[in-house]
Amino acid sequence: MIIGSKLFFYKVLTSTNTHAARLIRISDLPEGTIVYTNYQSAGKGQKGNTWESENGKNLLISIILFPGMIPPEEQFLISMAMSLGICYFLKRYISQCKIKWPNDIYVNDDKIAGILIENSIMGSSIENSIVGIGLNINQVKFLSDAPNPVSLSMLTGKSYNLSTCLTQLTVDLDNEYKKLLSGKRDLIRREYISLLYHYNDWYNYKDSNGIFSGRLLSVTFSGLLQIENRQGIINEFSFKELEFMP
């Protein structure tokens, strides 16, 4: 096993990603080392947001990877593999989950998990990646102004053992990362696309020109989202260039 080769647990951290970055600087760690905690006082989300999580209720982890075989221009493959691992973990308990591009995991129209990957690039290779994952397991009340959080417990009416969930998640993430290491990049991309939120549906999006109706077709290896508009024109969007409308 690569992911989960070494575990560091802390009752409280400011951020698992921040602590993982510190460990890389001061220690010689095996690939797949996981940093996890019961509570983050300043958990990181996308766009500078924080990640809300009640103490001891959810999975808050960061994984240290050394994916030197992935060229920097295809670093989004790491996000694809990790997104798939989370979805396959959730499918152990629920039938439906989707990947909202670029890195959120949804059940129906609610967000159950988020991923924040921080890559350190040296020259033409990725020196290391820190994969931060927040996955809502047992929390049933959310206090932030996030519009649509949900947890596994809210969906099923059950409580879960976090240690068991971490073990299962680790197995599923490890399986997907090993696919990536073995060169199955096309398979990973196909599986990722098949699980995309609103894949092949007509849906409203917003770009720099305003709101438009489009059909999500694909995602490139570099992470660009390909959407066809009503005129049959296919445009590509990078992160921050597109917004999903309610």
Q: What is the average per-residue pLDDT within 147-173?
A: 97
pLDDT at 143: 86
Q: What percent of the chain has pLDDT over 70?
A: 97
What does the pLDDT look like over 28-47, one tens digit per residue?
A: 999 999 999 999 988 765 55
Higher local confidence (pLDDT), 146 or 224: 224
Per-residue pLDDT at 49: 62
Which helix H or strand E contains 10, and what residues bound it? Answer: strand 7-13
Which domains does the chain carry? 7-194 (3.30.930.10), 202-244 (2.30.30.100)
Q: Show the CA angle centred on residue 223, arms to residues 122 and 104, nearest 5°.
A: 105
Residue 165's pLDDT is 98
Cis peptide before 102 (omega within 30 of 0): yes
pLDDT at res. 124:
92
Averaged pLDDT, 85-102: 97
Query: Per DSSP, what are the bridge partners of residue 228?
Result: 215, 234
Residue 48: pLDDT above 80?
no
CA distance 197 to 15: 28
Tens digits of per-residue pLDDT, 108-136? 999 999 999 999 999 999 999 999 999 99
Q: Which pLDDT score, from 0 to 100, does residue 44 have?
A: 64
pLDDT confidence of 50, banded at 50, 70, 90?
A: confident
Q: Which residues contact 180 (CB under 8 A, 6 or more apart)?
A: 67, 70, 77, 78, 81, 188
